[in-house]
Structure 1
Amino acid sequence: MRPGELIASDRGARPGTTTDVAHAWEVLGSVMDPEVPVVSVVDLGIVRGLDWQDGHLHVVVTPTYSGCPATEVIEQDILHALEHAGFAAPQLERRLTPAWTTDWISDDGRERLRAYGIAPPAGSTSKRSLLGEKDDICCPQCGSAHTERLSEFGSTACKALYRCVDCREPFDYFKCI
């Protein structure tokens, strides 16, 4: 809750239109993840819904995982971007169920990760790994599938550190969650 909301919660309330919601999606497409600044919150799939409630834009956000240190920064960035775009007192709801999954990352987001040097999640969050099957993690530099995991954790907890055996370059792999 922000200062003044209890006193003036209807400040700027107005009927919303489909154009407003489309504009909000466009605005959110420019809000970048602070840890991977080439993918937007829309590309990551953490914005789960936008609608108009009680005269204000209502945004549903599912964090990548409940302990993600960037969650509050992302939420503030979302609110700031929407307010800067003219949405008065947008309402943000953090929803933890269903839990976020890397399956929600868009195709554009996956390509942006690759171009940035981070291998996007391979496959999906199926139970293949529980059965001993390994995903092919391709090097984002040269495209080789001849890679090896150096560490279960990379630059952040949601990434693992890999190295390409062919080009010898290390890289982060965005783990399937």
Structure 2
Amino acid sequence: MRISVILASLVGLAGSGALAEEVAPTAVSFNEGAVEQSLTGVPGDPANGRLIVGDKGQGNCVACHQVSDLADVPWHGEIGPMLDGTADRWSEAELRGIVVNAKIMFEDSMMPSFYKTEGFIRPGNAYTGKAADETFGPLLSAQQVEDVVAYLTTLKE
């Protein structure tokens, strides 16, 4: 009986997408810069996305962008566009594409590709001064990208 209940629960989770497989950075599918498919199959957490956007050790989005909602974080940059109203300007899929690899939508963008592991010119291994090795991964995990996108979709005019 117990095994049947566990099996039924797993089938229910699989049907709901809760056990969805993570999309690898090399398998992301772009459609004119947008990424329609969630990278995780799990909804993003806007509260965690807010932390990542303002965290200088993670997303560090505020190094280039201003965000009124993050007024408590010092030293907002002015290189990129203001993020206020982002949800009014871009769809969720477009925001996901921009965070994953902004250069697909905006060829001349200076924005880093947060979910990319190939196609770089001489990437380094953190701040060691050595070349990247087999441990080279994306700047943000798939779930962190989904969290940032969930937060950006809350930023309306």
Q: TM-score range by the shorter chain?
A: under 0.3
Q: TM-score, normalised by structure 1?
A: 0.25
- The structure richer in helix per residue is 2
Q: TM-score, normalised by structure 2?
A: 0.27
- The structure richer in strand per residue is 1
Higher relative contact order (CA 8 A, sep 6+): 2
Q: Determine which structure has more spread, i.e. the larger CA radius of gyration.
A: 1
